Amino acid sequence: MDDAWITDLAASAWLVPALFALVVGDAFLVVLPSETAVVALGALWAATGAPPLAAVLLAAAAGAVVGDGLCYLVGRRVGLDRWRWQRRGRIGRSIARVQAAVHRRTAVLVFTARYVPFARIAVNLAAGAGRVPLRRYLTLSFAAGMAWAVYNVAIGAIVGSALRDAPVLAIAISVPIAIALGLVVDRTIAAIDARGSSRPDGPPGAEPPRARR
């Protein structure tokens, strides 16, 4: 198969900005494949040398911080129950679970939720509605976003470096691997959270929110 088109795509000036926009959008629309795109570009970089690794990492991390920050602002300005989608379905259940714990476990929630789509929206909304200090939130969000970007790029790069002569194949192999690892991470976090339900303080959403003074 002629891989010239994928090399041209890797060199396109719009590719990195498109990645940034995709990651920002994924903060609200979990159907957008931001993780898949980051992994694919990591594989593409390792196989072809383009797009630049630093640009991919910065675009992915910046998109994560901006998207999560916008979600935080929605929670801060709008609250957690104005719209139906905030009260129902997986997002509603996730919000109920993290609302009481967002101050006690801010760092843990921000970092782990980065890998669980619906939990990510819930944590960011709850952090904003709960008035978690913006400076603290942004510091944690930046660290979590950078770790997420490095993790996904690394998965793609490992596969891409082994298939330098077949960039399309590298992408095709790295994406399913990333999805499988994502499922493992998701299940692991869920298992840890379930184990926490047997502790005296219960799971993140087990106790009612305390009134702020």
141-159, pLDDT tens digit by residue?
999 999 999 999 999 999 9
Q: What pLDDT was estimated at residue 106?
A: 83
Grade residue 84 by pLDDT with cuts at 50, 70 and 90.
low
Average pLDDT, rounded, for the chain: 80
Weakest mean pLDDT among 49-58, 74-83, 105-114, 126-135: 74-83
3-state secondary structure of 103: coil
89 confidence band (pLDDT: 50, 70, 90): low
Q: Can you tell me whether residue 93 is helix, strand or coil? A: helix
pLDDT more than 90, % of the chain: 31
Q: How far is CA 177 from CA 35, 157, 166, 182, in A?
A: 12, 12, 17, 8
Report helix, strand or coil for 76.
helix
1-22 residue pLDDT tens: 456 777 788 888 899 999 999 9
**For residues 41 and 155, is the Cβ–Cβ distance under 8 A?**
no
Angle subtended by helix axes 134-162 and 167-196, to nearest 10 = 140
Choose the most confident range, by mean pLDDT, from 5-14, 29-38, 90-99, 187-196: 29-38
Tokens for 101, please give them.
Answer: 């714990």
Specify the range with the lowest mean pLDDT, choosing from 138-142, 177-181, 198-202.
Answer: 198-202
Q: Which of 48-52, 62-66, 103-107 has the lowest mean pLDDT?
A: 103-107
The pair of structure tokens assigned to 68 is 């999560």
- What does the pLDDT average to over 92-117? 74
- pTM here is 0.77
